């Protein structure tokens, strides 16, 4: 082995490594609890809108599964669905009205919530990092078990003014980075709370990913309903029991 | 009859179980790598071998050698999906144990 190029005071472990880890864990727990406490309660849909959606859904289900119905049931339902979809009794709002701006009420709320979440997240990250930087900067904390390229030197040896030191010797901020990457798994193992791991992962995705698609410019409901009614009108009836004797005999012959 | 019907929520539950096993074992194997003072390439070899081992054992114990019954795409969900997560958790516990043992 030979003589190591640096000898690190063992007290650093107890006064830097362990405190940072515990603080990270506690902070993640705190953030999770705050997120639960401040999460908005789900909004109820107005009755008319709900009727519209469910009516459309039942028509779609009918379109997919009509073959289990007997002939007369099929005809009844076909005419019922066509009538309901075409005469506009299911529509939540008058189709002649101007479509309301999706940015003003519902969409805006969702965006505000997301922005708040992002913002809080960013503040938490910044606070944590500046805490680590404030208390634990300017010394070498540990040796990484794997070599890194020189490009990481600037980031991982932040505040250590030695030019020729191997990149494997790193300061406390890099332990913070590594620990925050593996935190999701630790949380999953320690608390086995499904939502917790998921949430953290979502946050990570949000940080690096693209914004989720917004529902802008959805087609108008009356057009959708007319198309659906057309589809239902042209179904040619076919029963699941047609020629069943033949098939059973074939199956067991 | 030919193609088994799969229920999305059950598959999700299976994936969760697999993920828990991977999380747990990644931390344990990372700590063992740190205690063994493995460095650079040896450590990463240990990582991949342990990952493959855990996934294979999971196939035997939980899936009874028929992973296609429990996952939509068994090879992908067993050997690919959790690798990044396994890697980060392994790196963390490896680094920690390595630093603690060394000084």
* Residue ranges per structural domain of chain A: 11-252
- B38 in reach of chain A (CB within 8 A): yes
Question: Could you tell me which of A175, A203, A159 has the C-alpha nearest to residue A32?
Answer: A203
Q: Which B residues, 40 through 59, put their C-beta within 8 Å of a C-beta on chain A?
A: 40, 43-44
**CA atoms within 13 Å, Cβ hemisphere of A201:** 16
Cβ contact B20–A188 (<8 Å): yes
Cβ contact A13–B33 (<8 Å): no
Looking at residue A248, its pLDDT comes to 92
Please give the interface size between A and B, counted as residue pairs whose CB atoms are below 8 Å apart.
79
Looking at residue A209, its pLDDT comes to 43
| Average pLDDT of span A2-13 | 77
Tokens of A22: 């515990």
pLDDT category, A211, cuts 50, 70, 90? very low
* Interface confidence (ipTM) of the complex: 0.85
Q: A140 forms bridges with which residues in the sheet? A: A171
| Average pLDDT of span A194-212 | 50
Looking at residue B1, its pLDDT comes to 47
| pLDDT, mean over chain A | 79
pLDDT at A21 over 80: yes
d(CA A161, CA A153): 11
The gap from C-alpha A121 to its chain's centroid, in whole angstroms, comes to 15
Looking at residue A212, its pLDDT comes to 42
**Residues A66-112 pLDDT 10s:** 888 888 889 999 999 898 888 877 787 776 666 555 555 555 666 77
pLDDT category, A32, cuts 50, 70, 90? confident
To the nearest 10 degrees (0 to 180), the angle between helices A194-208 and A18-38 is: 100
């Amino acid at each position: 082995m030979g003589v190591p190029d640096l000898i690190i005071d063992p007290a650093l472990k107890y006064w830097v490594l362990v405190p940072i880890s515990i603080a990270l864990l506690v902070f993640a727990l705190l953030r999770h609890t705050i997120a639960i406490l401040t999460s908005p309660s789900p909004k109820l849909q107005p009755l008319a809108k709900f009727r519209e959606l469910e009516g459309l859904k039942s028509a779609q289900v009918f379109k997919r599964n009509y073959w289990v119905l007997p002939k007369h049931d099929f005809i009844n339902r076909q005419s019922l669905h066509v009538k309901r979809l075409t005469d506009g009794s299911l529509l939540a709002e008058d189709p002649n009205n101007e479509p309301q701006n999706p940015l003003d009420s519902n969409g805006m709320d969702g965006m505000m919530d997301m922005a708040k979440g992002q913002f809080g997240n960013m503040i938490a990250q910044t606070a944590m990092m500046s805490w680590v930087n404030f208390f634990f900067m300017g010394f070498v904390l540990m040796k990484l078990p794997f070599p890194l390229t020189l490009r990481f030197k600037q980031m991982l040896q932040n505040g250590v003014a030695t030019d020729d030191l191997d990149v494997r010797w790193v300061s406390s901020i890099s332990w913070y980075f590594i620990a925050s990457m593996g935190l999701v798994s630790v949380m999953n193992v320690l608390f086995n709370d499904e939502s917790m791991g998921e949430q953290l992962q979502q946050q990570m995705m949000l940080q690096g990913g693209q914004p989720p698609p917004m529902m802008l410019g959805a087609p108008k409901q009356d057009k959708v309903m007319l198309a659906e009614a057309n589809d239902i009108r042209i179904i040619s009836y076919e029963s699941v029991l047609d020629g069943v004797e033949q098939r059973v005999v074939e199956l067991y012959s | 009859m030919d193609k088994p019907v799969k229920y999305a929520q059950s598959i999700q539950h299976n994936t969760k179980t697999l993920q828990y096993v991977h999380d747990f074992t990644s931390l344990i194997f990372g700590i063992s790598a740190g205690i063994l003072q493995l460095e650079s390439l040896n450590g990463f070899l240990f990582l991949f071998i342990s990952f493959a081992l855990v996934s294979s054992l999971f196939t035997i114990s939980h899936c009874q050698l028929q992973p296609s019954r429990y996952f939509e795409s068994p090879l992908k969900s067993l050997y690919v999906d959790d690798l990044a997560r396994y890697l980060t958790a392994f790196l963390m516990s490896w680094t920690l144990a390595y630093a603690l043992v060394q000084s």
